[in-house]
Amino acid sequence: MRRVDLAIVGAGPAGVAAAVTAARRGLRVALIDEAPTPGGQVLTNPGTSRPHDARGQAIERGQTLLAELGRLPVELYRETIAWALEGTCLALSGPESPSEIEAAALIIATGGREYVPPFPGWTLPGVMTLGGAQRLIDKHGVLPGRSILIAGAGPLMWALAASVLENDGEVLAILDASRPADWARALPLIGTLQDRLRLAWRYFKVMRGSRTPYLFARGVLQARGDGYLEAVLAGERTYTADSLCVGFGFRPNIELLQLAGCGFVFERWLGGWIPAIDEHMRTDQPAIYAAGECSGVGGAAKALLEGELAALAAGTGLGVRLEAHDEDRLEWLKRRRQREIRFARVLNHACRPPRAYTDDLVDETILCRCESVRYGQVEQALQHGATSLDGLKNELRVGQGMCQGRTCGPVLQQVLAQKAGQTREQILPFHVRPPVKPVELGKLQEAG
């Protein structure tokens, strides 16, 4: 079996920062990601697509680390899924990976996934997430449609609008479901948000320059079309659109941490259920750390700080002696992280979907895409007394398809909370068993 000092799952900003930090200090590091190239959701490989300096300091710093990663002796396993773990031993499936890696310490940096609350027509082709649309443009140089409507909440909308416009695309309108007052909560943090303000300002200049309508709108969307998106109803208005890009922030990918047996806490404004961790990113399981979005949704800057922090803490645990400047750095990282977390709470609060999305659900709306389960069925199950995600799964098969509840889990959690008269804290995520992501059966056979 392959042995390393530190194994890291996820090569986004958190995983890359962790790998570079640990490798610089001489640790033997394995970095695992299911994507063909490292970088996670925002970092791009050098040489591809757009200049990344346009994305702010955090992403710029991430790019620098990604470049350094290539020069360090880190074992990088591409297109490799970490599908299970026992203690700090990972089960892997990838073209060049061993089937198992035994690590002295483990950092889980599996990131987050975008959240879209269900609305009528949301499964029509032509409706996609903000991040999905952004990736189309960044990685493939393709616009998501000819007439694009952007809806949801948060900075991803602005970045996407700017990208579409800069690539000579048409944005029909931006429908912002946040309230201006939500953002006022960020005022006390303004001192540390200079670069992000500059970035937002840049996006807004692009939007204003094109005279794209920017509307604050908290109503539920309705997508219509015969086999493909043709129109979007938003309040009184109807837009003839062939692309609806929508997103309401992120939810953490906690499945591996669940398998690890970690304790969780409910933090609504950090994405819901997140692992209980200490200030050094340590979970309650020996030698297992969590960093980045999977430990609480908060953006790339937070992910970078946490990756570094986790690697320094894991290194110390493995006997790496910290220099004086490392000690200072550790303290600085911890302080900065607290500020990022404060900002994250503001951001996630602003990105919450309006209540109407769950209050006004209609029977036909699909909630679980894999198993085509509609709201009407869920409501019936609730009337029959279902009170938990696992109860719903039992009755309706929700969460049993290819995505394993990644998409419908957060959706159903919200529906249960609002309709079954429970608090969000009472609703536990789906129970998780291996594999956390689909794996070729042949790979299971080889393992061990």
Which residues lie near other proteins (CB under 8 A)? 84, 86, 91, 371, 384-388, 390-391, 394-395, 397, 400-402, 404, 433-435, 438-442, 444-445, 447-448
The answer to whether residue 275 forms part of the interface with ligand FAD (CB under 6 A) is: no
Instruction: Select the binding partner of residue 86 from other proteins, ligand FAD, none (C-beta < 5 to 8 A, by kind).
Output: other proteins
Looking at the Cβ atoms of 328 and 440, the one nearer to other proteins is: 440
Contact 355, 418 (CB under 8 A): yes
Looking at the Cβ atoms of 100 and 340, the one nearer to other proteins is: 100
What's the rounded Cα separation, in Å, for the pair 193 and 183?
A: 12
Residue 165 identity: L
What's the rounded Cα separation, in Å, for the pair 245 and 134?
A: 9
Instruction: Select the binding partner of residue 111 from ligand FAD, other proteins, none (C-beta < 5 to 8 A, by kind).
Output: ligand FAD
Window 321-360: residues binding ligand FAD (CB under 6 A): none
Q: Cα–Cα distances in Å, from 215 out to 177, 232, 235?
A: 9, 15, 11
What's the rounded Cα separation, in Å, for the pair 350 and 249?
A: 9
- Least separation in angstroms between residue 275's CB and other proteins is 19
What's the rounded Cα separation, in Å, for the pair 416 and 41?
A: 30
Looking at the Cβ atoms of 283 and 404, the one nearer to other proteins is: 404
Q: Which two tokens stand for residue 430?
A: 């789906």
The answer to whether residue 21 forms part of the interface with ligand FAD (CB under 6 A) is: no
Q: Tokens 């389960």 identify what position?
A: 373
Instruction: Select the binding partner of residue 397 from other proteins, ligand FAD, none (C-beta < 5 to 8 A, by kind).
Output: other proteins
CA contacts within 13 A on the Cβ side of 429: 26
- Least separation in angstroms between residue 56's CB and ligand FAD is 6
- Least separation in angstroms between residue 54's CB and ligand FAD is 9
CA neighbor of 25 nearest in space, from 321, 246, 341, 417? 321
How many residues bind to ligand FAD according to rule CB under 6 A?
Answer: 38
What's the rounded Cα separation, in Å, for the pair 39 and 62?
A: 8
- Least separation in angstroms between residue 380's CB and other proteins is 10
Residue among 22, 221, 300, 347 that touches ligand FAD (CB under 6 A):
300
CA neighbor of 386 nearest in space, from 420, 414, 432, 426? 420
Which residues are 371's β-sheet partners? Answer: none
Which residues are 150's β-sheet partners? Answer: 174, 245
Q: Tokens 């895409």 identify what position?
A: 369
Window 135-164: residues binding ligand FAD (CB under 6 A): 156, 159
The answer to whether residue 111 forms part of the interface with ligand FAD (CB under 6 A) is: yes
Residue among 292, 353, 401, 429 that touches ligand FAD (CB under 6 A):
292
Looking at the Cβ atoms of 41 and 407, the one nearer to ligand FAD is: 41
Instruction: Select the binding partner of residue 439 from other proteins, ligand FAD, none (C-beta < 5 to 8 A, by kind).
Output: other proteins
Looking at the Cβ atoms of 14 and 29, the one nearer to ligand FAD is: 14
The answer to whether residue 42 forms part of the interface with ligand FAD (CB under 6 A) is: yes
Q: Which two tokens stand for residue 363?
A: 């029977």
Instruction: Select the binding partner of residue 394 from ligand FAD, other proteins, none (C-beta < 5 to 8 A, by kind).
Output: other proteins
Select from 8-16, 118-126, 162-170, 390-398 the region that touches ligand FAD (CB under 6 A).
8-16
Contact 252, 294 (CB under 8 A): yes
Q: Cα–Cα distances in Å, from 172 out to 15, 163, 210?
A: 37, 14, 11
The answer to whether residue 59 forms part of the interface with ligand FAD (CB under 6 A) is: yes
Instruction: Select the binding partner of residue 36 from other proteins, ligand FAD, none (C-beta < 5 to 8 A, by kind).
Output: none
For 272-300, give one letter per residue: b (16+ CB within 10 A) or e.
bbbbebeebbbbebebbbbbbbbbbbbbb
The answer to whether residue 270 forms part of the interface with ligand FAD (CB under 6 A) is: no
Which residues are 136's β-sheet partners? Answer: none
319 contact partners, CB below 8 Å, separation of at least 6 = none
The answer to whether residue 40 forms part of the interface with ligand FAD (CB under 6 A) is: yes
Interacting residue ranges for ligand FAD, rule: CB under 6 A: 9-15, 32-35, 40-42, 55-56, 58-59, 81-82, 109-112, 131, 134, 156, 159, 253, 256, 292-293, 299-301, 303, 436-437
